[in-house]
Amino acid sequence: MTVFSFHDDVLADIETELEQLVVDERLPGLSVGLVLDQELAWFKGLGTRDLATGEPADQHTLHRVASITKTLTTAAVLQLRDRGLLALDDQLERHLPEFAGVREVAGRRDQVTLLRLLTHRAGLVTETPLPTWSTDEFPSREEILAALPQTEIVLPADHAFKYSNLAFGLLGEVVARVAGQDYFEYVTEHLLSPLGMTDSVYWLPEDERHRMAVGYSPDLFRDGLKPAPYVSLGGVAACGQLHSSVADLARWLSLQFRTGDHAMPDDVLSTNTLDDFHQPRYSEPDWSAAQCLGWRSLRVGENVYHGHGGGIFGFASQVLFSRQHRIGAIVLANLWPYPMIQAATVRILERLLGNQAPPPLAPPALNPSREDSSRPVAADSRNESDDRAGLYVAEPGVPVHLAIRGERLQLEISPLWPYPLHTGGILEPTENPLAFRIRGGRGAGEMAVFEIDEQDVATGFTLGGFVYRRMM
């Protein structure tokens, strides 16, 4: 494997581009780290960690890194596999008997294996059926387990990639039961401490939150930012509760580059397991992307990257790395939603690897669905055929247009704030006139349930743990 060096002129160009990005996107701040083999070789805190003080972030400033947590949960599962305490082909029900009560809408519980949960191929719903993203605190593990009889398998196993926070929350429960200790204690003892990730914690007491950057949400209708609430993920914490820093995430990426010629901390991951960790299990037909265990793999030209992003109230995050070249990038923003963080991270690595024309920084395309090329009707206009069309927004600032496309209702990206959370889904009617099954997108197989007023006009809908309110 070849280790690249970082050239000062390229680093200067990257810094200039990131500074402009902060200005153009009106970001509060970005914390950016570049990893070269076994060290954090470059760090920049751009903008501010707190709009009230203007204080810059440093490499130890804590951010909530959200779904990057899933990669540590995956590592914990692999450790327990290597100890012979579980197998990836184990049915979830073997370790979690409560799962026997789950609803088999379009898939079978006996096909829900640990491997399929790790690769988002189990067909499980995105979130527990209990209120999540619309509450001050997610349900507890006890509440989530008690709600399994109301939880649905909505796609057949291996039918499609279907991202699931609930899946990783349940994997955290498996880790705890198999290891015989609390999930957070296990990860701290067997991953964080051996790797020297001393900044990283799952639970941060209120009197310690000064160590964090201040997280913000877009105030879509006042053209500004507002402080985001601090929300605990409760019983699904294994999917996204981690607080970490650029310095600690650099240690996590450095582990991904370990080979036989590097000292390996005891009780972390063997070189064979690291190879397994990064092995693609499912790929897109054109090999543009693939799903590994926990990690997502991305191909850009001749370069193949592994990484994971995250988004949670106030914070967006992305880590991306090349095992071949032993380099990685960490980008943390104290703003969520922020749709361009992955594009920015890809661009950084492409610049480092000498691509003279790296992919442009651009928001998700506002293109029609591939399934239907008919002309969309303006979503904020009244349409006699269906009064549900319009703009809907969910906290903490996630907009979506519900548009008429031919004879169908479809969720589309809003130009107001191009965040593609639930976009691309088509609403299919059910026997309940207020309930629609979603076909395609993140919400595939799940129910969108509308609320109506006294005039039978839609005022909002729930989908995937979010409550969308009608704005126009």
Instruction: Write down the pLDDT at residue 264.
Output: 61
Domains and CATH numbers, the chain: 1-362 (3.40.710.10), 390-470 (2.40.128)
Taking Cα atoms as reference points, which of 24, 10, 15, 11 lies closest to residue 46?
A: 15
Instruction: Write down the pLDDT at residue 376.
Output: 33
Instruction: Write down the pLDDT at residue 375.
Output: 30
Cα distance between residue 429 and residue 451, in whole Å: 15
* R_g of the chain, CA atoms, integer Å: 22
Q: Which residues pair with 160 in a beta bridge?
A: none
Instruction: Write down the pLDDT at residue 49.
Output: 98
Which regions of the chain are under pLDDT 50?
1-2, 367-384
Q: What is the pLDDT of residues 230-278, one digit of tens each?
A: 999 999 999 999 999 999 999 999 999 987 655 566 669 999 999 999 9
Cα distance between residue 472 and residue 470, in whole Å: 6
Count CB-CB contacts under 10 A for residue 85.
Answer: 15
Phi, psi of 395 (to 5 degrees): -65, 140
Instruction: Write down the pLDDT at residue 222.
Output: 73
Q: 272 vs 77, 260, 283, 290, CA distance in Å?
A: 15, 9, 21, 20
> For the whole model, what pTM was predicted?
0.93
Instruction: Write down the pLDDT at residue 266.
Output: 62
Cα distance between residue 6 and residue 348, in whole Å: 12
Cα distance between residue 36 and residue 466, in whole Å: 39
